[in-house]
Amino acid sequence: MAVGKGRTMARSTAVVIRDARPEDASGIARVHVATWRTTYRGVLPGSLLDGLDEEHRREWWDGLLSGDADPEMVVLVAEAQGVVVGFASGGPPAAPVAGYERELWALYVLAVWQGRGIGRRLVGTLAAGITATGASSLAVWVLAGNPAERFYAALGGREVARRTERIGGFPVEEVAYGWRDCSCLLLPQG
């Protein structure tokens, strides 16, 4: 499902989940950098986190959102009072896991907005976009020891693979969680 195709989006008090638009690139970049700094502090080198460049991220997201988007890509934002407070993206696997058709590439919610169900709503809405492309299975890679592991397990994800990667020259262990039928992630209608 391409960016901006007007799906019915999940709502709650003050927070709207919707397709990302090109004008969201700055907000997504701000969330991307801020959440990396809070989530990975103590896990990744401080110099790497301190060196993250919001403008570079904005340019990357601007290119992704403004170009001819892959029709199987889904990019969503969580917006509160006109401000992006979280985002999710997914589509064809960047790092394939055997037996899984799609990958949740990124899910980030600003720390002050966590614990309100926004991440769950982003994942559910992304799963709807994934199933609309005809795919049924979904995997996500997370850093081992990251609190997100508990989040994905609570959503019914099962550990399906492990690997060692390098981020900024620093070796990290990653764990893949998967859902063979991602329709279990869909939000209740009504």
Residue 62 has pLDDT above 60, yes or no: yes
Which pLDDT value is given to residue 118? 97
- Our count of domains for the chain comes to 1
Residue 31 pLDDT grade (very low, low, confident, very high; cuts 50, 70, 90): very high
Whether 6 is covered by a domain: the verdict is no
CATH number at residue 56: 3.40.630.30
Whether 94 is covered by a domain: the verdict is yes
pTM for this predicted structure: 0.89
* Angle at CA of residue 146, ends 101 and 102, nearest 5°: 10
Which pLDDT value is given to residue 190? 55
Whether 158 is covered by a domain: the verdict is no
Whether 186 is covered by a domain: the verdict is no
Whether 107 is covered by a domain: the verdict is yes
Domain of residue 20 covers 11-136
Whether 146 is covered by a domain: the verdict is no
Report DSSP letters for 143-157, one per residue.
ETT-THHHHHHHTT-
- State the Cα–Cα distance between residues 132 and 69, nearest whole angstrom: 16
Which pLDDT value is given to residue 133? 87
Whether 149 is covered by a domain: the verdict is no
pLDDT in tens, 92-135: 998 889 999 999 999 999 999 999 999 999 999 999 999 988 99
Alpha helices in the chain (DSSP H): 25-39, 46-50, 54-66, 118-132, 148-154
Q: What is the mean pLDDT of residues 152-165?
A: 96
Whether 159 is covered by a domain: the verdict is no
